[in-house]
């Protein structure tokens, strides 16, 4: 187990479409080491989600762990540590809502992104078992953000408006920029 370096925007791996994980790789010692390293790296970062490309591993794996903590998003429903291999998103309701997103690969910044708020996630878990999860609200945003990393997409590509992108320190000093009507 180890804490890996999180690569930042500008590193070419973050812009690649990651390879689907071969099913016979799941369950190998190499796979478990990778997942444990992702867990350690996420815990050390203080983040709530991490995708393998963010540690320069171009495979379709993401991990999520959300403690029930009030935050700038309100109280987020908790998600115990979970592993998502080769995940697919199905949008169940096209209605979008926006959140101020941040990213471990774009440190110190926040940007306002609108995304559908009711999705289903189909995936394989860390044992290769198929799973399905319906996510609402901020959880839906979180999964879309993490799984975008598996396709070379960063949240900055989806900013509602380039002016709704700023440093966290300035947010704390001056407050959040006003956001017009959220569709
Ligand atoms: Zn991210």
Q: How far is the CA of 49 from the centre of ligand 1 (A)?
A: 7
Q: According to the CATH classification, is domain 12-174 in 3.90.45.10?
A: yes
Whether residue 65 lies in the annotated active site:
no
Please tell me the pTM assigned to this model. 0.94
In this prediction, residue 183 carries a pLDDT of 45
Report pLDDT digits (tens) over 96-155: 999 999 999 999 999 999 999 999 999 999 999 999 999 999 999 999 999 999 999 999
**Where do the structural domains in the chain lie, given as residue ranges?**
12-174
How many other CB atoms are there within 10 angstroms of residue 88's CB atom?
12
Report pLDDT digits (tens) over 16-56: 999 999 999 998 999 999 999 999 999 999 999 999 999 99
Q: How far is the CA of 67 from the centre of ligand 1 (A)?
A: 18
Buried/exposed code over 22-35 (b: 16+ C-beta within 10 A; e: otherwise): eeebbeeeebeebb
């Amino acid at each position: 187990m180890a804490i890996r370096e999180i690569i930042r925007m500008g590193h070419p791996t973050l812009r690649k479409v990651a390879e689907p994980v071969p099913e016979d790789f799941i369950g190998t010692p190499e796979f478990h080491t990778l997942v444990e390293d992702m867990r350690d790296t996420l815990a050390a970062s203080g983040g709530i989600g991490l995708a393998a490309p963010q540690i320069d591993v171009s495979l379709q794996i993401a991990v999520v762990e959300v403690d029930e903590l009030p935050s700038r998003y309100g109280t987020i429903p908790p998600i115990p540590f979970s592993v998502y291999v080769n995940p697919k998103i199905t949008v169940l309701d096209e209605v979008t809502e926006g959140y101020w997103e941040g990213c471990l690969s774009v440190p110190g910044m926040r940007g306002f992104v609108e995304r559908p708020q009711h999705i289903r996630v189909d995936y394989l878990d860390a044992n290769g078992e198929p799973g399905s999860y319906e996510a609402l609200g901020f959880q839906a945003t979180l999964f879309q953000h993490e799984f975008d990393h598996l396709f070379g997409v960063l949240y900055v590509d989806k900013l509602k408006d380039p002016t709704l992108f700023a440093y966290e320190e300035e947010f704390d000093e001056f407050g959040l920029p006003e956001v017009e009507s959220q569709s």
